[in-house]
Structure 1
Amino acid sequence: MKNSIKPAITLSLAAAVAGIFAAAPVAAQSQAPIKVGFMLPATGTYANLGNMIENGFKMYVNEQGGKLGGREIQYFKVDDESDPAKATDNVNKLIKRDQVDVVVGTVHSGVALAMAKVARETKTLLIVPNAGADVITGAMCAPNIFRTSFTNWQPAYAMGKVAADRGHKKIMTITWNYAAGNESVKGFQEGFEKAGGKVTESLTLPFPNVEYQALLTQIASQKPDAVYAFFAGGGAVKFVKDYVAAGLNKTIPLYGPGFLTDGTLEAQGEAAQGMITTLHYADNLNTPRDNAFRLNFAKAYKANADVYAVQGYDAAQLLATGLKSVNGDFSKRDQMLKAMGSATIDSPRGKFTLSPAHNPIQDIYLREVKGINNEVKGVAIKALADPARGCKQS
């Protein structure tokens, strides 16, 4: 009797030990870091914007003790150079070479369009922390593509309403001839003309050309009631200064989305003072959430937070929501994506939810430049949702 029991015990023990060793790689794998790939501009006109996004993202992760959903975060970086021609190769470096779990990027809409195409094809989770190309959460919408910023349509449409409310009837627009600029101008025109105004002419120049003089001369000769401009980064600095140097601001008010004055005010100096813009973030919101965010950012990076830092911060918050819903188990993709889509993000800009197309439904603020701040003057439109034209996602 004893002899018959002993082999059974031995076999059971052996099986248990084997099971422990077989499970070890699975356990180790579940605790492996989540790989986050930043594809952001590190050089060129948008370099500072990319840096602010990255810092905002990392600050949220650091606030959580370096983990999201219980998982360590490992970072990989590619400079996108704001060059759409290099975008596909660059994003594939992160997806195929580095095998990242999630891609975060970018600033330039043309680059982001290529990134979104690859994300759709590879089913890679993509969080867009800036680029506002309407189509990304429009016709190109997908379950694995999210945005924590805006569409080009949103602040532009709001400014169209503001400009009409201020009594302007005829306005000219000016921008770089690329996705972000063209969509911003269209959004402004939709809002302005819906409220009774008329865009008389739309001027463009190639990105990132900053030789504005001929176009400013054209504006001076046509004498519109006002001008709507979309530029960002170094291009916005030069445009605002050139506009004032030409004396146009004395008789023709200059309006734009907040990118015209966000992250640029120190360089623009006196030229930007008094400018009115619209955006989903503003200085001096004076809420406990925003005050804490700005204080922590200033301590961590010795710089004032801006909209780009907020968008990066919220990209990390959104990823955290998804990972928390599955206890860090990235293999439960469907459950994670569903949680991200239904999230309420407690953003420094104010709480926002996501549309079915995965774009923020958010307040668009009216702001005025005072010193080195884009101070909030009110809300241009509350809880503005992008129309997500062409999105088939439900």
Structure 2
Amino acid sequence: MNKNNKMPCTTRFSFTAGALALALGASLATAVQAAEPLKIGLLLPYTGTFAALGEATTNGLKLAIEQHDNSLGGRPVEYVVVDSEANPAKAVPNMQKLIAGANVDVVVGPVHSGVGMGAVKVARETGVPLIIPNAGFNAATGALCAPNIFRTSFTSWQTAYPMGQVAADKGYKNIVTLAWRYGFGTESVEGFKEGFEKAGGKVSKEIYVPFPDVEFQSQLTEIAALKPDAVFVFFAGGGAAKFVQDYAAAGLQGKIPLLGSGFLTEGTLAAQGQAATGLLTTLHYADFLGTPENLRFREDYRQKFGKEADVYAVQGYDTGLLLAQSLKTVAGNTRDRAAWIAAMAQARIPSPRGEWTFSKAHNPVQNIYLREVRDGVNVVVSTAATALADPAPGCKMQ
């Protein structure tokens, strides 16, 4: 009887001791990780055509993290920086350098959609979280979506589709499109065309220019002969600056209204001058949004970096907010990757662009603003689409 009486006691003790040991081990592991820096891999362009975009994204990210005492989930932050050079051919080895070489916890990047294709490939293979702060190619949150891939920026569809309804509301029936023939250009045209035709309009002709050509004379002559109700275009950077100037010089400004994805006038207004007056564009941000978050962000950015913030800085800032919020939820535990990914998916970002959340495909559900160029600035006219979610065709997470 005595032996029988002792057995349950011994068993209870062994289970209790085992549970205690497991708890102590888990606590020790958590404590050890808390002392380790959280490594953020930056795969952004710091040289070449897109260097300014990489700098602004990085500035915004670091500003958000500094505002959280340079600590994420109780862990100090370490940056591992790789210049993407906006070179798609180097995307896979650069991702491997960050993930296998530096053992980063998360990769932030890229800017260029061509680099994005390679980055997504490696992220899908390794399971390491990838947060895309700019590259807008649809596939990242469409056919190539994955639980560990998030976008804090936009898709090419999102920034162009709402302009279709805007054009229809203005009574335009017949529109010609013009864009660079590469991924983002063709996707932007497709997005606009979808929105415009859904609203009852017709795209009578699609004209393309090889990327990155900036000679537009023959295309402008053709547009003048076609006499459409309006023209929708996708150009950015130096190409956008020259196109808008050439459009005015061809005598089309004020005669045939010019519409575009918001990148037509982002960072290009100074070069475009009076030629940009009256341009209508759609984008998920505008410098002069009057929200308290935007006013505070722009002042903080100006104080820190001595320059004005732009949409790229906002996207970097929001990436920092996403990291801060999600890592607080999991107390800095990046080893439980599933829990961390779930925390990111549930995040609500109090952004300078307006609060946004993630769709099931991990693309921002966000407002798209209609802006008009007045006195050299993009003025918000209205909200072209409220809480717009990309339909993410082909995404199997939905």
TM value normalised by structure 2: 0.90
Residue of 233, 250, 265 corresponding to 2:254:
250
Q: Residue 323 of structure 1: CA displacement?
A: 0.9
The one-letter amino acid of 1:207's match is: F
Asked if the contact 2:253/2:275 (under 8 Å) is kept, the reply is no
Q: Which amino acid aligns with 1:215?
A: Q
Identity among equivalent pairs (%): 57
Q: Does 1:317 align with 2:321?
A: yes
CA distance in structure 1 between the aligned counterparts of 2:159 and 2:165, rounded to whole angstroms: 10
What is the rounded CA distance, in whole Å, between the counterparts of 1:29 and 1:352 in structure 2?
Answer: 30
Look up the match of 2:215: 211
1:338 aligns with 2:342: yes
Amino acid at match of 2:318: D
From 269, 286, 290, the counterpart of 2:290: 286
Q: Distance in 2 between matches of 1:25 and 1:198?
A: 61
Name segments (4+ residues, structure 1) moved above 3 Å.
Answer: 23-30
**Could you list the per-position Cα deviations for residues 220-252 of structure 1 after superposition, in whole angstroms to 9, with x for gaps in the alignment?**
222221111112222222222222222222311
Secondary structure of the residue that 1:357 maps to in structure 2?
coil
Alignment match, 2:382 = 378
Tell me the alpha carbon deviations over residues 2-23 of structure 1, each in whole angstroms, 9 at most, x when there is no partner: xxxxxxxxxxxxxxxxxx9xx9
1:306 paired residue number: 310
Query: How far off its partner does 1:90 sit?
Result: 2.4
Contact 1:128–1:147 (8 Å) recurs in 2: yes
Task: Find the aligned partners of 2:214 and 2:274 in 1 and give their Cα distance.
Answer: 20
Q: Which residue of 2 aligns with 1:14?
A: none
| 2:65 alignment partner in structure 1 | 61
Aligned-pair CA distance for 1:337: 0.6
Contact 2:41/2:81, CA 8 A, preserved across alignment:
yes
In the TM superposition, what is the alpha-carbon distance from 1:159 to its structure 2 partner?
0.5
1:337-390 per-position Cα deviation (integer Å, ceiling 9, x unaligned)? 101101111001111111010011111111111234211111111111110111
Gaps of 5+ in 1: 1-19
One-letter identity of the residue aligned with 2:240: A
Between the aligned partners of 1:262 and 1:68, the Cα distance in structure 2 is 31
Which residue of 33, 37, 56 corresponds with 2:37?
33
SS in 1 for 2:253: helix
Q: How many residues align?
A: 375
* Inter-partner Cα distance in structure 2 for 1:294 and 1:48: 17
User: Matches of 2:331 and 2:74 in 1, distance apart?
Assistant: 7
Letter of the 2:100 counterpart: K
Match of 1:146 in 2: 150
Q: In structure 2, what is the Cα distance between the partners aligned to 1:337 and 1:358? A: 10
Unaligned runs of 5+ in 2: 1-23
Structure 1 counterpart of 2:281, from 274, 277, 284: 277
Answering whether residue 52 of structure 2 is matched by residue 48 of structure 1, we say: yes
1:221 paired with 2:225, answer yes
Quote how far apart the aligned CAs of 1:205 are: 2.3
Give the match's secondary structure for 1:364.
Answer: strand
- Report the equivalent of 1:117: 121
1:30 is aligned with what amino acid? A
Residues 80-229 of structure 1 aligned to structure 2 (within 5 Å): 80-229=84-233
Aligned match for 2:270, one of 266, 274, 278: 266
Counterpart-to-counterpart distance in 1, 2:209 and 2:84: 22
- What is the rounded CA distance, in whole Å, between the counterparts of 1:272 and 1:173 in structure 2? 18
Cα RMSD for the two superposed structures: 2.0
Checking the alignment, whether the CA contact within 8 Å between 1:46 and 1:233 is kept in structure 2 is no
